[in-house]
């Protein structure tokens, strides 16, 4: 497992409590310079065999996922009959049997949610062409599994490809684009005007928790339907279901229509299932595990792309490899994340550099990547639920000016600042003469 580099930019002599006790000073923040290498230099550091896609190996992983999902489903069929039986009630008492029954369902939802998410990740691999060298195989499998999990395959594939091509670009990225100071209506801070940030971010922890839970359950559907957290330069009502959306070209229009019809077919299929087995059963066996997919998927992608120490870029300072490095690998749920989620969170940085690389080569390829780019590789061991809470509070906005940007927290404080030449360039760009 690669070691943590998220702390590499922090002064080695200062611990977090010591830094928290010191008065905040922008001038004393550690400095950051973007990576200098070309993409071809980085690719040359990765052995060629790690780019080879093995269709049979991919199919084996998909088969294992489907087998585990079927086994969990089969086991769940025994939860209610077992714990509602007379023997269970006599042995555990009515209350104890009821608690055991719901505990059984929670276990089912946990593991089936992880398994369903792993199947979604297979579809994600297909969307990138990493599952097989055959685009037909990739699209057939990706279209099928993503449709079964309420994702419009071709629509999402197209926008996700653009996200990878423009990651960490303030002007062109497709998702997790930071809000700016002006977006939130926060005035500029200067020596004669100290901001009271509590006026803008003085939410109670309970309200913050509510907003975080709303993000975890609704962010993905909201992104597909309303472009929530997407590129703010797009027209109002931009979405993934309009064939004429700015997200797509005219040549892609028929693919969006196919994805839409597939989602409509899922509506009909779920409606038929509810009539046949009852809505409550459909929710228990399928609906709640699907909600877990949206939770895990949003949590994984949010933590990949949102951290106080990850840069965003404007204009000429952005390039593909700098954007690819502006993400972080995380120890996500330990062995369960590696096994059930196919390393999607553990080795995401290498995936942003080379999206067609199969996930099963991620661990080995990351070792070569880390050796080459050094401190520009980011990895975190922080427990992921703590990281989710911390980053949701610490990543509020970026500045309106500058070509290299870092998130600021609810006090307007950053943890890194661009190196001097990038600050000087930002100052020049913001002079009145440069804006005329």
Task: Cite the DSSP H helix spans in 45-149.
Answer: 55-76, 79-83, 86-128, 135-148
Distance CA 47, CA 64 (A): 28
pLDDT at 8: 42
Candidates 423, 21, 375, 400; CA nearest to 184 is: 400
Would you say 263 and 144 are in contact if contact means Cβ atoms under 8 Å apart? no
> β-strand 404-405 against 312-313: which pairing, if any?
antiparallel
| pLDDT value, residue 18 | 52
Question: How would you classify the pairing of strands 379-380 and 31-32?
Answer: unpaired
Per-residue pLDDT, 16: 52
Q: Over the stretch 239-282, which tens digit does the pLDDT of each residue have?
A: 999 999 999 999 999 999 999 999 999 999 999 999 999 999 99
Predicted local confidence at residue 408, as pLDDT: 95
Report the pLDDT value the prediction gives residue 315, as an integer from 0 to 100. Answer: 85
Q: Distance between CA 287 and CA 370 in Å, rounded?
A: 40
Report H helices in 149-227. 153-165, 198-201, 205-226
**pLDDT score at 433:** 45
58, with CB counted inside 10 A (0-12, 13-18, 19+), is: buried
φ and ψ of 7, to 5 deg: -95, 0
* CA–CA dist 435, 101 (Å, integer): 66
Does residue 4 contact residue 379 with C-beta atoms inside 8 Å?
A: yes
Q: What is the pLDDT of residue 86?
A: 95
Q: What is the pLDDT of residues 196-240, one digit of tens each?
A: 787 788 777 898 899 999 999 999 999 999 988 888 889 888 999
pLDDT in single tens digits along all 436 residues of the chain: 555 455 444 334 344 555 556 788 888 999 999 999 999 999 999 999 999 999 999 999 999 999 999 999 999 999 999 999 999 999 999 999 999 999 999 999 999 999 999 999 999 999 999 999 999 999 999 999 999 999 999 999 999 999 999 999 999 999 999 999 999 999 887 766 677 787 788 777 898 899 999 999 999 999 999 988 888 889 888 999 999 999 999 999 999 999 999 999 999 999 999 999 999 999 999 999 999 999 999 999 999 999 999 999 998 899 999 999 999 999 999 999 999 999 999 999 999 999 999 999 999 999 999 999 999 999 999 999 999 999 999 999 999 999 999 999 999 999 999 998 888 665 555 554 444 4
Contact 288, 316 (CB under 8 A): no
Three-state SS for 142-156 is HHHHHHHCCCCHHHH
**pLDDT value, residue 426:** 59
φ and ψ of 397, to 5 deg: -165, 165
Give 282's strand partners: none
Question: Within 10 Å of residue 18's Cβ, how many Cβ atoms?
Answer: 10
Give the Å distances, CA to CA, from 433 to 5, 108, 427. 40, 63, 12
**C-alpha–C-alpha distance, residues 391 and 404, integer Å:** 19
């Amino acid at each position: 497992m690669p070691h943590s580099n998220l702390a590499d930019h922090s002064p080695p002599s200062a611990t977090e409590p010591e830094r928290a006790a010191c008065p905040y000073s922008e001038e004393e923040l550690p400095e950051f310079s973007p990576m200098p290498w070309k993409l071809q230099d980085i690719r040359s550091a990765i052995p060629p065999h790690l780019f080879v896609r093995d269709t049979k190996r991919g199919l084996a992983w998909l088969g294992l996922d489907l087998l585990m999902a079927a086994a969990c489903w089969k086991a769940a069929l025994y939860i209610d009959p077992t714990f509602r039986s007379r023997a269970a009630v006599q042995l555990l008492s009515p209350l104890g049997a009821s608690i055991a029954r719901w505990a059984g369902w929670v276990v089912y939802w946990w593991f089936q949610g992880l398994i369903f998410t792993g199947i979604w990740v297979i579809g994600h691999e297909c969307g990138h062409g990493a599952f097989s060298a055959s685009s037909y195989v990739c699209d057939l499998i990706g279209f099928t599994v993503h449709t079964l999990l309420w994702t419009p395959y071709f629509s999402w594939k197209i926008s996700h490809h653009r996200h990878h091509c423009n990651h960490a670009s303030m002007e062109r990225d497709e998702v997790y684009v930071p809000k700016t100071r002006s977006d939130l209506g926060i005035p500029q801070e200067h020596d004669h005007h100290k901001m009271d940030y509590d006026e803008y971010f003085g939410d109670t922890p309970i309200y913050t928790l509510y907003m975080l839970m709303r993000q975890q359950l609704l962010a993905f559907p909201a992104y597909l339907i309303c472009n929530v957290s997407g590129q703010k330069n797009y027209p109002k009502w931009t979405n993934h279901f309009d064939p004429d959306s700015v997200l797509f070209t005219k040549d892609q229009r028929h693919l969006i229509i196919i994805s839409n019809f597939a989602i409509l077919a899922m509506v009909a299929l779920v409606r038929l299932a509810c009539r046949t087995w009852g809505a409550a059963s459909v929710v228990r066996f399928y609906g709640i595990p699907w909600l877990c997919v949206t939770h895990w998927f949003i949590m994984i992608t949010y933590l990949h792309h949102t951290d106080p120490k990850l840069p965003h870029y404007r204009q000429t300072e952005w390039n593909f490899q700098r954007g690819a490095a502006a993400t972080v690998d995380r120890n996500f749920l330990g062995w369960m994340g590696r096994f059930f989620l196919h390393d999607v969170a553990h080795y995401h940085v290498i995936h942003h550099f080379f999206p067609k690389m199969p996930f099963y080569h991620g661990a080995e390829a990351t070792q070569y990547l880390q050796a080459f780019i050094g401190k520009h590789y980011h990895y975190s061991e922080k427990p992921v639920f703590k990281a989710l809470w911390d980053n949701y509070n610490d990543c509020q906005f970026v500045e309106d000016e500058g070509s290299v940007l870092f998130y600021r927290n609810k006090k307007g404080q950053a943890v890194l600042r661009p190196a001097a030449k990038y600050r000087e360039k930002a100052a020049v760009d913001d002079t009145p003469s440069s804006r005329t």
